[in-house]
């Protein structure tokens, strides 16, 4: 296995800018990117700014506000510590020309970064992001250049409460009155773990509106008591809290609340059959898709190419079609716009996207699942018991970007000789997918959110086969 490079490496990709705060992420880099953003999109009368709960977020926010005010932005709406989806929706509601959300999402607390937003609240398109990164790299922060920035009387408006309330109202409107009444009547009890993240700003208010009794643990902003990324490892402890059967399920979020994973009581039938109480993101996406597609016919669902074919099997009852895109939020969004999709997402990370908000939304996902449970009068485990069994195994391998391209090419040649189907997305540094049969595949790609990490995912309807596929992929990598 290859040795990791220094963690100071800056990650600059269409998924956003990330790095370790105080090393590769600092106020000088903020200035470069803020200037590049302003130059790329010219006139900016009003921008929205928000961020997650990391300590460094407040420092970076002040740096962005300073540069934007010097550039002549007339109004900055500061919505405080909120989930990323609240920030995106605020751009729409406040009729801003764009904005910036400060976060490192599922990376650990020492990291931070940012995502720039367009006038529709969404992240910049892939092409726009590439242009922005190129422009930022050309910026020279010199005293002469700094003197050309003239500070104006920017109007800074704080709108945390209104932004959160607008988002909650949006969710309630998407549900409709009948669904809300059904959820209230069900009297659900759930356990929620925002882990000190931005979801804290929304959860208690939203659940109160829905009549859901929720125990919210780890609810001190910026105090992270587990790994940031919600997954089988970080959320396993929640299963112990469900043994009393007091709660219908538990849900765990990452720092910006775009990701969510669900946990079942460990003695439930589905948990026993899968060998884990933590439900994979593929099942989370499948549940959300079914909740949205119920009563529809012939819709298109966009997933990334690392998502399980479980989704395909679940939505076929609604005669819905699957379209695959490269891994990455904006790849999904661009294809959703093309096919006018009601829902899409990435089962590989538990991310569900529902326009007009065009980012992954872990909070909306939980609400959709509550809606389905209330309508069917069944527990989450009972609903999942009717789903086909698919298994996903994944590993992260230390690998330099240049080396990952060579490795990917070698693996492609290896499997082509064996006669397996091959699919590539995203150019030379994109994903590689090897089809073993109608339900099973191996997928790999260099991470664009974690430095020097190659991801391998094997997925299929036979656990033994999935394990074998991943083991073979790892052995080939080590060679």
230 and 368 in a single domain? The answer is: yes
My answer on whether 205 and 155 are in the same domain is: no
Angle between helices 177-186 and 200-210 (to 10 degrees): 90
Contacts of 56 (CB under 8 A, 6+ apart): 21, 22, 25, 112
pLDDT at 141: 53
Q: Which CATH number characterizes residue 291's domain? A: 3.40.120.10
The answer to whether 69 touches 49, Cβ cutoff 8 Å, is no
417-428 residue pLDDT tens: 999 999 998 777
Does residue 25 sit in the same domain as residue 127?
yes
Q: End of a domain among 132, 160, 188? A: 160
- Torsion-angle region of 302 (φ positive above 0: left; ψ -120 to 50: alpha; else: beta): beta
Whether residue 2 is predicted with pLDDT greater than 60 in this model: the reply is no
Instruction: Of 465, 467, 472, 470, give the one whose Cα is nearest residue 455.
Output: 470
How confident is residue 279, by pLDDT bands cut at 50, 70 and 90? very high
In angstroms, the CA 148 to CA 67 distance is 12
Please report which confidence band the pLDDT of residue 44 belongs to, taking 50, 70 and 90 as the band edges.
Answer: confident
Task: Tell me the pLDDT tens digit for each residue of 341-374.
Answer: 999 999 977 779 999 999 999 999 999 999 999 9
Find tokens 């892939």 and name the residue. Answer: 126
In a domain, 208, yes or no: yes
The alpha carbon dihedral of 293, 305, 390, 188 has a sign of: negative
Q: What is the pLDDT of residue 150?
A: 54
Question: 393-413, pLDDT tens digit by residue?
Answer: 999 999 888 888 888 899 999
Instruction: Look at residue 171 and tell me if it is in a domain.
Output: no
In a domain, 105, yes or no: yes
What is the pLDDT at residue 457? 95
Give yes or no for a contact between 356 and 315, defined as CB atoms under 8 angstroms apart. no
List Cβ neighbours of 378 (8 Å cut-off, separation of 6 or more). none
Work out how many domains the chain is built from and give that number. 3
User: Any residues with CB less than 8 A from the CB of 267 and at least 6 apart, and which?
Assistant: 243
Higher pLDDT, 61 or 176: 61
Q: Give phi and psi for 15, each to the nearest 5.
A: -85, -5
| Same-domain pairing of 191 and 316 | yes
pLDDT of residue 400: 87
Token output for 262: 């669900």
pTM beyond 0.95, yes or no:
no
370 and 471 part of one domain? no
E-only strand ranges, 243-290:
250-253, 260-263, 278-279
The domain containing residue 398 runs over which residues? 391-478
Q: Could you tell me if 322 and 225 lie in one domain? A: yes
Give the tens place of pLDDT for each residue, 193-231: 999 999 999 999 999 999 999 999 999 999 999 999 999
pLDDT computed for residue 4 by the predictor: 35
Q: Are residues 400 and 366 in the same domain?
A: no
Burial of 469 (0-12, 13-18, 19+ CB in 10 A): buried
How far is 387 from 347, CA to CA, in rounded Å? 15
Pair (104, 18) in one structural domain: yes
Same domain, 425 and 309: no
Domain assignment of residue 197, yes or no: yes
pLDDT-based confidence at residue 247 (cuts at 50, 70, 90) = very high
- Residue 3's pLDDT band (boundaries 50, 70, 90)? very low
Q: Among 328, 360, 385, which residue terminates a domain?
A: 385
Mean pLDDT of 259-282: 94
Q: Residue 32 and residue 137: Cα distance in Å, rounded?
A: 8
Do 212 and 356 reside in the same domain of the chain? Answer: yes
Q: What is the pLDDT of residue 144?
A: 40
pLDDT for 116 beyond 60: yes
Per-residue pLDDT reduced to its tens digit, 47-57: 999 999 999 99
Cβ-based neighbours of 193, under 8 Å, separated by 6 or more? 216, 217, 218, 226, 235, 238, 250, 251, 252, 253
Domain stop point among 93, 125, 160: 160
Average pLDDT along the chain = 92
CATH number at residue 455: 3.30.310.50
């Amino acid at each position: 296995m290859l040795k990791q490079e220094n963690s100071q490496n800056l990650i600059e990709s269409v998924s956003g800018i990330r790095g370790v705060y105080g090393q590769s992420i600092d106020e000088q880099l903020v200035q470069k990117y803020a200037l590049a953003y302003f130059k790329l999109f010219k006139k900016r009368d009003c921008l929205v700014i928000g961020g997650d709960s990391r300590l460094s977020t407040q420092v970076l926010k002040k740096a962005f506000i300073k540069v934007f005010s010097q550039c002549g932005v007339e109004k900055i709406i500061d919505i405080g510590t909120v989930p990323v989806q609240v920030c995106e929706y605020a751009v729409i509601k406040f009729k801003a020309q764009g904005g910036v959300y400060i976060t490192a999402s599922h990376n650990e607390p020492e990291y931070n970064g940012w995502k720039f937003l367009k006038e529709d609240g969404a992240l910049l398109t892939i092409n726009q992001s590439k242009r922005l990164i190129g422009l930022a790299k050309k910026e020279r922060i010199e005293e002469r250049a700094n003197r050309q920035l003239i500070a104006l009387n920017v109007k800074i408006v704080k709108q945390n409460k209104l932004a959160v309330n607008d988002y909650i109202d949006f969710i309630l409107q998407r549900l409709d009155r009948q669904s809300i009444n059904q959820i209230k009547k069900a009297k659900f009890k759930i356990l929620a773990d925002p882990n000190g993240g931005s979801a804290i700003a929304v959860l208690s208010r939203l659940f109160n509106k829905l009549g859901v009794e929720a125990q919210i643990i780890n609810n001190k902003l910026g105090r992270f008591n587990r790994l940031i990324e919600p997954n089988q490892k970080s959320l396993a402890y929640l299963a112990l809290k469900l043994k009393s059967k007091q709660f219908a399920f538990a849900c765990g979020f990452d720092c910006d609340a775009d990701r969510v994973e669900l946990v079942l009581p460990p003695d439930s039938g589905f948990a026993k059959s899968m060998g884990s109480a933590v439900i994979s993101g593929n099942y989370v996406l499948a549940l959300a898709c079914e909740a949205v597609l119920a009563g529809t016919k012939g819709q298109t669902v966009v997933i990334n190419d690392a998502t399980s074919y479980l989704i395909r099997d679940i939505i076929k009852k609604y005669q819905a079609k699957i379209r695959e895109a490269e891994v990455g939020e904006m790849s999904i969004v661009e294809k959703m716009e093309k096919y006018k999709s009601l829902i899409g997402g990435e089962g590989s990370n538990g991310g569900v996207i529902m326009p007009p908000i065009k980012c992954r939304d872990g909070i909306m996902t939980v609400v959709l699942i509550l809606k389905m449970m209330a309508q069917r009068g069944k527990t989450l485990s009972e609903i999942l018991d009717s789903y086909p069994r698919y298994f996903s195994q994944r590993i992260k391998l230390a690998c330099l970007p240049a080396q990952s391209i060579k490795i990917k090419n070698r693996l492609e040649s290896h499997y082509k000789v064996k006669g397996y189907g091959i699919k590539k997305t995203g150019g030379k540094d994109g994903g590689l997918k090897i089809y073993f049969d109608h339900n099973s595949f191996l997928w790999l790609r260099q991470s664009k959110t974690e430095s020097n990490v190659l991801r391998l995912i094997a997925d299929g309807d036979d656990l033994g086969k999935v394990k074998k596929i991943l083991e073979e992929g790892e052995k080939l990598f080590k060679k």
